[in-house]
Each structure stands twice: as structure tokens, then as C-alpha cells.
Amino acid sequence: MNGFDRRSFLAWLSSGVVAAATLGRGGSVAVAATENAGPDNAGALLLRDATVFDGTGAPARPGTSIVISGDRVVAIGRWNRGESLPDIPGLRVVDCSGRYVIPGLWDLHTHSSDVTPTVPALQLVHGVTGVREMRGSEATHAVRRRIERGELAGPRMVVASNTLDGPDSPVPGATLIDTDDDARDAADRASGEGADLLKVYSFLHSDEHAAIATHAARVGLPFAGHSPSLLPVQEVVRRGQRSVEHNYGMHLSTSRRAEEHFEHLAALPDDPADPQWWGRRAALLEREVFQTYDRGRAADLAGLFVEHGAWHVPTFAVESAYARHPSRFLDDEETQELAARWLPATIRQEWEAMARAWPEWTPERAELELAYLDARLELVGDLAADGAPLGTGTDSGAAYVFPGLATHDELELLVRAGLSPARALLAATRDAARCAGLTDAGTLTAGAKADLLVLDADPLADITHTRRIHAVVARGRHHGPAERQRLFDDIERAAQEDVPLGSTRSTLRCCTPMTG
């Protein structure tokens, strides 16, 4: 907005027209420092009279208003109903009575954000205002720069390094770590390229993983990703890994026969003719041992997550998608319609080829996969009950895991695992932002980044209500119903114009459950 009267705005804000968010504790409003009020032409936004879940852990507050200037929340509290609306040029007022406001959602595990313009916009219109892209490239960094310049609609992006894996990695294009010098060079390169974290993968050995931990600390970057298959998750967490993605290693590490199983894995030979054989065998072993789950070991593991400030990001959206044979997607009309509307033909063809190539399952195998999903849900519910920090991630970019939409699947699966809707929302907002390294995002407090959703129904009553989005505010910009529809229309038009694949496209499925 041009012509924003910043002086009048600050005077109005200081007048106490928005009363303190916590009543009975003095009369001052929760107002950010005036330097957060934005530049003179930034404009301001008043969301009036909503029920607000602020992401701090406090109960939802009805009748609450939020004032935004630039890309920051500058005040939040109750509207003084005796006051008329201010006549301040550049101040936009949106009536939110009867609606619900939550912080914007995060997806901590994405791939394919370089598929522009469809994927970043899909994330945004579905209320995902922050993502952590888990295999970075120059194309990914270029997308982030375009979003930050306002040239492209999309979420905030935290970008990982290229995948760091052991010398026998089957992952195309991975950076191979065999020595301390390899780890040093990889950390230096990632830091120089502007990566926000180092991404570790499944086929690292203990010494290689330890070297990455050392050099990540040296360059001041966290490291996160898979728990390497040969290492207990407990060891990975003790080394300082920021987050453990997927459920890989979780049941092996919480089995009452854990030591025996890790010894068995270490003795498994490689198959030179099939680089994927060892990984598939490790994944199948995990499915065979979940019946030996030890609740006490899980409680101890939760304590380690708390002690070391680590997060678990279970990515149930992808795990549940592949708990049933992916060939089913080929005949699912709704899935095929969404893919045709939202994704370029090249991506759709990749997805279809993967589903057709997936090996057949016996009825016994199909039953095992569903039982294993239930076991993973139970384990994460136990971790949550014991206080382990959790974050939402989807592995979107995997075949038939739709960017943006999958985050709502993830929330519903967390509730199915036993989390309350409030706890699931914290995993997708405050806790996810902290895992991503941002202390000023994920909550609706004075001074926080202005990323939020306006919903038409209460998500605390039913977590599926996060899908009922009325508006998205990202970086302080209000995307109401008409703007969201325009973005959907743009996405559908762009999907009909096939795009060249970015340099990370060969990794679209780098995290697929290795169980085909």
C-alpha cells in the first residue's frame, strides 16, 4: 500500500485501542518495538475479532485482533469495542468475526520446490508459509531468491545442502563422504553456497556421520536428515543431529532386541548388481521387528530428544501413501485429477512410471505394510506423550504426495497417532519453525513474522478444519478468497505448460520408503 501514514498508525496503536492480550495484567497492549512497524509505505493490516490460536501453547482466545505492519505482527489483543475503526491511510481492516486464526503451517521435509511456478504457489495457497527443502541446489536457491524479491508466490524457504551420504550411496548425485577431508569440504561448500543446514542420509557409517557433525559445528550449521541405517537413533541424537526424518531406524532402535538387529545389519553384504538391495533389506528388517517394540526404550529415546534439543519429523504423509501399493493411484480419479490440474506433464509421467514399476506385493506383504504403519503411529504417539519435540514434514515431491495439501494429511495423521489437535498444530507451527532455526516465526506474538491462516472453522474441534482456509497471510500480505483463487488459476495454467526439470529433479524420490 502506498500513502501509509506511519505516524498516525503508531499514535493509534499506542492509544490502547487494542487492549492487552492477557486481561487483568495491566492495561498495556502487547506491541512490538516501533522499528518493526515497517517502512512508511509498507501499509498495515488489522484482522479484527477472530478466535486466535497463537502457537505459544496458550489456549485459543476469542474476540482477539491482530495488527500487522510490513511483514511483522506489531500488536495482538482484544479490540476495544467502544472505539470506531481508525481513519488511517494505508490501514486495511478485515473483519474476522466467526473465524479462527492460526500461525502459518510449516513443512519441514520437501523436495521439488524448484518446480516453478506450480509447487511454491501450491504450498502457499494451502497455508504452508514455511518449508525446509531437504536437498538444495542452485535451482532451489534461485527459487528462494525469487520468492524473497516478491517475484514468485511461495513460502519462506530454509534450504539444505546437497545430500551427504556414504561412499556406497545408491543416491544419484549425492556428495559422497568417505574421509574427514570429504566432510570438511562438504561443510565448507554448503556454507559458501548459502545452505542453512547439512542433509545426512541413510548409508553413512559412524565415522563419516561423526565427521559431518564435527564440521557442521565448525561452520556453524545444523545437520539433519535420515538416521543412518547402521546407527541407533540414540547415537545420532547424542551427536547433535537437529532432526531425525521419517521413521527410519526408529523401531530398530526401540526394539528389545536392538543390539542383535544392528549386528545383523552390519553383517549384511552389499549386492554389486543391485545398489538398492541393502537399503531394501534394512527397511524390511525394520518391518519384521516392530513386534519387539519396547515402550521403555521409546521413553528413554524421547528423553534424549528433549535433552539434546532434537526433533522427530515422522513424515507420515509419505509413509501412509506407500503403506498401500502405489499402483492404486493410477486408477484413483481424484488423485489423477489433482495431478493434471496442478503439476506439469513431466512430473505426472515420473509419478506414473514409478507406480507402474513398483514390484507386486503378496497379500501377506500388503497386510504387513498396514500393520507397520499402525506401529509407527503408535511409536510417535508414545514419543509425543513423553514430551519429544515433533515437527511436521511430508516428503512432498514424492509421487502422489501433493505439495501443500499433504501438510493437512500430516496433521490428521498426527492426531490419529494420539496427539491432540492443539499439539499437532504446535508441531506444524511453533515447533516446526524452531526446528527450522527460526525463533521469530511460528507464533502470533508481537514482533513475530506475519505468517498466518484465517480459517472458516475451529481446528481445535476438528483438525480437518485446517483445510477450510478463508485467507492466507504470508510476509504480511493478505491473500483473501479472490487472491487464492487467482493463484489456483495461475497454477492450473502453468501446469499445462510443461517445465524443464531443475537440477534436483533426479532426487524427487530420494526418500521413498525403500520397500518395493
Q: Are both 15 and 117 inside the same structural domain?
A: no
- Same domain for 113 and 45: no
- Same domain? For 325 and 354 the reply is yes
Residue type, 220: G
Q: For residue 111, what pLDDT is reported?
A: 93
Residue 243 lies inside a defined structural domain of this protein:
yes
Domain membership of residue 178 (yes or no) is yes
Q: Among candidates 38, 88, 50, which has minimal Cα distance to 471? A: 50
What is the rounded CA–CA span in Å between residue 372 and residue 319?
Answer: 10
Give phi and psi for 417, each to the nearest 5: -75, -10
Cα dist from 403 to 95, 111, 460, 498, 513, whole Å: 30, 9, 23, 17, 18
> Of 98, 118, 138, which one is at a domain's C-terminal end?
98
Question: Does residue 479 sit in the same domain as residue 464?
Answer: yes
CATH number at residue 72: 2.30.40
DSSP 84-114: PPP--TTEEEEE-TT-EEEEPEEEEEE--TT
pLDDT computed for residue 23 by the predictor? 29
57 within domain boundaries:
yes
The CATH number linked to 316 is: 3.20.20.140
Residue 76 sits in which domain range?
6-98
Q: Please check whether residues 354 and 253 belong to one and the same domain.
A: yes
135 and 94 in a common domain: no
Query: Are residue 50 and residue 138 in the same domain, yes or no?
Result: no
Contact 164, 175 (CB under 8 A): yes
Instruction: Clarify whether residues 34 and 93 are in a common domain.
Output: yes
* pLDDT (0 to 100) of residue 169: 93
**Alpha helices by DSSP H, 194-294:** 206-219, 233-238, 250-253, 258-267, 277-289
Tens of each residue's pLDDT in the chain, 516 residues = 445 566 777 676 666 655 443 322 333 344 443 334 433 335 789 999 999 999 999 999 999 999 999 999 998 988 766 566 667 777 889 999 999 999 999 999 999 877 878 999 999 999 999 999 999 999 999 999 999 999 999 999 999 999 999 999 999 999 999 999 999 999 999 999 999 999 999 999 999 999 999 999 999 999 999 999 999 999 999 999 999 999 999 999 999 999 999 999 999 888 888 888 888 888 889 998 999 999 999 999 999 999 999 999 999 999 999 999 999 999 999 999 999 999 999 999 999 999 999 999 999 999 999 999 999 999 999 999 999 999 999 999 899 999 999 999 999 999 999 999 999 999 999 999 999 999 999 999 999 999 999 999 999 999 999 999 999 999 999 999 999 999 999 999 999 986 655 534 433 445 555 555
Q: What is the total count of domains within the chain?
A: 2
Q: What is the pLDDT of residue 512?
A: 57
394 and 477 fall within a common domain: yes
Name the burial class of residue 7, with classes exposed (0-12), middle (13-18) and buried (19+) by CB atoms within 10 angstroms of its CB. Answer: exposed
- What CA–CA distance (Å, rounded) separates 422 from 8? 37
- 515 found inside a domain: no
89 and 161 housed in the same domain: no
Asked if 179 and 253 sit in the same domain, the reply is yes
Which of these three, 98, 113, 145, is where a domain ends?
98
Query: Cis ω on the peptide bond leading into residue 269 (within 30° of 0)?
Result: no
Check residue 249 and give its pLDDT. 96
Q: Which of 65, 80, 98 is the last residue of a domain?
A: 98
Structural domain contains residue 514: no
pLDDT of residue 515: 55
Same domain membership, residue 140 and residue 55: no
Question: Is 281 within a domain?
Answer: yes
pLDDT on residue 5: 64
Residue 513: inside a domain: no
